[in-house]
A and B are shown apart, each in its own frame.
Chain A
Amino acid sequence: MPIDSPFRRLPDAQARTLAFTFAGRELEAREGDSLAAAILAAGIATTRHTPVSGAPRGPYCMIGLCFECLVEIDGEPNRQACMVEVRDGMRVKAMQGARGLGKGPADE
């Protein structure tokens, strides 16, 4: 885990370690983590760029309301990262603007 994460794990977090990728980077999660939590834990603040201005955004509400944490999961675009639990081997990308029709966004 990068040392520049503004978060650290409590020592009681004993859950099994899972592996997933975000924007091609191999990252670790704990079983039960939401995808947004695991990405934040890795020190990554930006999970998408907006369709309007391309501004960077990251998870804001963590309860499925704000839609700031939209990502592409295993090819499916516009998923709320805070509402999905990490599964081993997930391949996740940041949303770059709006989704395309019938396909996901371009790679980072």
Chain B
Amino acid sequence: MSDPVPLIVIGAGPAGLCAAAEATAAGVETLLLDEQTAPGGQIYRAIGRASPERQAILGSDYGRGARLLEVLDSGCLDYRPSASVWQVTPEREVYFTIAGQAQSLRAERIVLASGAMERPMPFPGWTLPGVMGAGAAQTLLKSSGLLPGGGAVLAGSGPLLFLVASQILDAGGRIAALVETTPRGNSMRAMPYLPAMLRMPSYLTKGAVLLARLRRAKAPHFKGAHNLSAQGGKRIEFLRFTAGGRDHDVPCSLLLLHQGVVSNVQITRALGLAHDWKPLPRAWQPRLDPWGGSALEGIAMAGDGGGIFGARAAELQGRLAGLDAAYRLGKLTQAARDAKARSVQRALAAERAARPFLDRLYQPAAEFLNPADETLVCRCEEVTAGQIRGFVKLGCLGPNQAKSFGRAGMGPCQGRVCGLCVSEIIARARGADVQDVGYFRIRPPIKPVTLAELAAMACAGPNDAK
């Protein structure tokens, strides 16, 4: 059996890059595995090859990612892109596939930095081709320079919706309509938390700039929209909704949805870590200590995978996890770790201060948390919200039973897209807490791996990766 790698970091977004930076700076030999072909994560996707023009469109918050790539020059770092991690065990074995070659390595310590995903926004018709995440459209802009040109409709809620709208306009694209679904009462509920938000005035300034940009563009902007449905035969043709007491049909060839981002909990769930239901962002969060450490010895989480606090906070959490790994591996004294961590912890507290305001302001509308009966909730196995409610009437108590009742969550996405919604619907139908209803049990492999890959690995013997 080969010697364990001192540190494996999974994910090369801001958290993973910063964890690797702190660890390697302290002399820790670090293996950085990332699923993408280039570093930066989703937020700084393709930052290494973005032209100055594209950086100008995407803004200074995107350009900021470039300096996080310095760690890639470290002699202590082994960076492997296009690595699909499909299992992490509590004994710190990491199984992954690169270019059709499956392998496993053992680590003394692991920092998970698997990031966030857009919160799915289920409503009737959202499965039609031409309906995508607003973040997905941003990914196309960042990595391929593709711009919605023919008039896209953006619908939903949350800062990224406005950011994507503004980037499309700045790049010379067109927006047929911005359809905001933020419930009207949200701003009143958020207001008491505004003073804490003022610790981070830059967020408010950015928000004001985005809204001014959208007003200048004179794109139709609907507020308090509800009763959404996407209509079309083979692809999206128009978005139907009610706003201002009237029904609207807005034609579009592209419908971009967004209602915030949530932690991608696939790895932490598959590890069997405890997760808490957070009623405010309405999402699950793995239970972590202030350094990102989990209940499993040697396994920590940094960044948005441990709760949504944003890209800057992810950098800071990454630094803390990297410093702690260096300390636990004997490369930093406790005093040195604590001294380096102090300013990071202060900055992190300031970043977190913005969340209570933002989480209340952009809390999703009820119709997307507990959608209408005819809505396909599980896109893979085509299970509707009404069917899930029917399972509850028959005695189904939670998401894992919903699998046997009707295959919800058993398709190729392994519940990534429907998981939050299935738990919410069952909780509502039972009159129970989401925490008690629980979540899908996630089992490895959490990414596709072929039998041929497994067989080739078995022939090579365990932990025999080159």
Residues of A within 8 A of B (CB): 4-14, 30, 32-34, 37-38, 40-41, 45-47, 50, 52-53, 55-68, 70, 78, 80, 83, 85
* Inter-chain contact B35/A52, CB cutoff 8 Å: no
Q: Which residues of A contact B264 (CB under 8 A)?
A: 65
Q: Which residues of B contact A55 (CB under 8 A)?
A: 127, 382
* Inter-chain contact A57/B127, CB cutoff 8 Å: yes
* Inter-chain contact B51/A12, CB cutoff 8 Å: yes
Residues of B within 8 A of A (CB): 35, 37, 42, 46, 49, 51, 53-54, 57, 84, 117-118, 127-133, 135-136, 139-141, 143-152, 171, 173, 234-236, 253-254, 264, 379-382, 411-413, 416-417, 447-448
Q: Which residues of A contact B382 (CB under 8 A)?
A: 50, 52-53, 55
* Inter-chain contact B129/A57, CB cutoff 8 Å: yes
Residue of B nearest to A70 (CB): B412
Question: In the complex, what distance in Å separates the CA atom of A33 from the CA atom of B152?
Answer: 21
* Inter-chain contact B413/A65, CB cutoff 8 Å: yes
Minimum CB–CB distance from B311 to chain A (whole Å) comes to 15
* Inter-chain contact B253/A6, CB cutoff 8 Å: yes
Question: In the complex, what distance in Å separates the CA atom of A71 from the CA atom of B167?
Answer: 30
Minimum CB–CB distance from B376 to chain A (whole Å) comes to 9
15 contacts between A and B (CB under 8 A): A7-B140, A10-B54, A12-B145, A13-B144, A45-B130, A46-B129, A55-B382, A56-B128, A56-B129, A60-B379, A63-B139, A66-B413, A78-B412, A83-B35, A85-B37
Q: Which secondary structure dominates where chain A touches chain B?
A: loop
Q: Residue among B46, B130, B145 with the most chain A CB within 10 A?
A: B145
* Inter-chain contact B136/A58, CB cutoff 8 Å: no
* Inter-chain contact A65/B416, CB cutoff 8 Å: yes
Question: In the complex, what distance in Å separates the CA atom of A80 from the CA atom of B128?
Answer: 18
Q: Which residues of A contact B35 (CB under 8 A)?
A: 64, 83
Q: Which residues of A contact B49 (CB under 8 A)?
A: 32
* Inter-chain contact B127/A62, CB cutoff 8 Å: no
* Inter-chain contact A58/B42, CB cutoff 8 Å: no
Q: Residue among B57, B151, B254 with the most chain A CB within 10 A?
A: B254
Q: Which residues of A contact B133 (CB under 8 A)?
A: 60-62
* Inter-chain contact A45/B380, CB cutoff 8 Å: no
Residues A32 and B413 in contact in the complex (CB < 8 Å), given A10-B57, A58-B235, A60-B133: no
